[in-house]
Amino acid sequence: MITAEPTAERTATQTMPRRTPTRMPRPAQLQRLVLTGFMGSGKTTVGRLLAERLGWAFTDLDTEIERRCGLTVPQIFAQLGEPHFRRQESAALASVLGHPRTVIALGGGAPEDLGNRLLLEQTPATAVVYLAAPFVTLLDRCQKQTDATERPVLADLPQAQQRFETRQRIYQRIAAHTLETSSMSPEQTVEALLHQLFPKPA
C-alpha cells in the first residue's frame, strides 16, 4: 500500500500554478493516478487492478457520468447528443479530481477538451498515465469485449481512426508515463506501471 502525505485539496475553479504536463509528483505525494488512452486501451480493467494493488479507490469516469445522468453513455449520445455528453464529462472530471487516493479511468475522448487538460495539469499530486496501443489492436480488443457497453464513437470507423490520430499526440503530451500495452495482459501492465511509478531504490 502506498502512503501519502495529506495534501490541500482544491475545487475545480481555483487557479493553481501551472506545471509542465509531464512532471511527475514525488511517489509519496501522489494522490491520484489518471489512466488515459483510446477505447480498448484497458483503462478500466487496469485501473481497477491498480487501485486494488495500491489500496486506493477506483473511479471510472463513464460510470460516474452515467450515475449523474441516470442514463447509459449510448443513451446520452442518442438522446442528448455528444456535446451534452462532453459537458457532463467535464463536470464529472472536475468532481472526481477532488478525491484523494484514487485511480481514475478517463473516457477516451476526455483529454481532447482543453479545459479538461488544464484541470488534469493543474490538479496537484496527480499523474496521468497513457496506455498506448496501435489502432488495429484497440479495435480488435473492443470488438472482443462482448460484455462492454456499446461505444457510440465506434459507429463511424473512419472518423474513429481520425479521432485516434488526433488524440494520440494529446495523450502523449499530458502523460507523465506512457506504456505500450499491445503485448501485455492487464496484470502485466499493472506490474510494469507500478515498477515505473514506484521504482525500488538501488
* Residue ranges in contact with ligand S3P by CB under 6 A: 39, 43, 62, 73, 107-109, 151-153
Considering the complex, what minimum distance in angstroms separates the CB of residue 1 from ligand S3P?
27
Considering the complex, what minimum distance in angstroms separates the CB of residue 34 from ligand S3P?
13
Sequence-distant (6+) residues with CB within 8 A of 81 are none
- 32 or 43: CB nearest ligand S3P: 43
Sequence-distant (6+) residues with CB within 8 A of 185 are none
Q: How far apart are CA 94 and CA 107, in angstroms?
A: 14
- 118 or 154: CB nearest ligand S3P: 154
Q: How far apart are CA 88 and CA 49, in angstroms?
A: 26
Considering the complex, what minimum distance in angstroms separates the CB of residue 169 from ligand S3P?
15
- The overall longest dimension of the chain from CA atoms, in Å, is 55
Considering the complex, what minimum distance in angstroms separates the CB of residue 152 from ligand S3P?
5
- 170 or 193: CB nearest ligand S3P: 170
**For residue 31, which of 16, 51, 49, 61 has the smallest C-alpha distance?**
51
Torsion-angle region of residue 131: left (phi > 0), alpha (psi -120 to 50) or beta? beta
- 86 or 101: CB nearest ligand S3P: 86
- 32 or 151: CB nearest ligand S3P: 151
Considering the complex, what minimum distance in angstroms separates the CB of residue 39 from ligand S3P?
4
Closest-approach residue to ligand S3P (CB): 107
